[in-house]
Amino acid sequence: MDRPRIISRISMFDHYVSNLKKITPKSISEYKKSESYTKAAVERYLQVLSELELDVIVLLHKGLELRPVGSEESVISAIEPTLGSKTVENVRARRRLRNALVHAYSDIDDFEVFKMASDLKDLENFKASVLKILK
């Protein structure tokens, strides 16, 4: 298991979670009225956090020597028994939002972005699950 790389990602994870908490407005109405640069920063932090989650999942997958897989979804599915279905569903939700933001599939729903940015408990649960695996 590549513990140093996982710990490095978790440290970066903490940095982005902390910054996201600082910049996310306190209510959806405040968020909707926010300047475009605030919304862009919130969206970017969510994208980066999603990428960090996936990096950690890939590193865990390799370290636990799980079956070989090809797609991002199959890697996420393979780690589900280890991380738990609730944690993995939150990872999938963040990946869906990340894909919508990065690829501009449609208009971005401010409510969905705000909801994900304002409730970060699932990110803390992800981190705790990863640290438990590393012990």
CATH code of the domain containing 67: 1.20.120.580
Give 114's contacts (C-beta < 8 A, 6+ positions apart).
Answer: 24, 25, 28, 31, 32, 42
Per-residue pLDDT, 68: 63
Looking at the structure of the chain, the number of domains it has is 1
Cβ neighbours of 106 (radius 10 Å): 7
**Helical (H) or strand (E) element with 56:** helix 36-63
Q: How far is CA 55 from CA 27, 59, 98, 114, in A?
A: 31, 6, 14, 24
Predicted TM-score (pTM) of the model is: 0.83
Any idea which residue has 């990863």 for tokens? Answer: 130
pLDDT for 114 equals 92
What's the pLDDT at 26? 93
* DSSP state for residue 66 in the 8-state scheme: P
d(C-alpha 4, C-alpha 68), whole Å:
22
Burial class (CB in 10 A: 0-12, 13-18, 19+), 109: exposed
Structure-block tokens of residue 37: 């640069």
Predicted local distance difference test score (pLDDT) of residue 76 = 87
Which residues constitute the domain of residue 81?
3-134
User: In tens digits, what is the pLDDT along the chain, a chain of 135 residues?
Assistant: 788 999 999 999 889 999 999 999 999 999 999 998 999 999 999 999 999 999 999 888 888 877 766 788 888 888 889 888 999 999 999 988 888 888 875 677 888 889 989 888 988 888 998 988 888
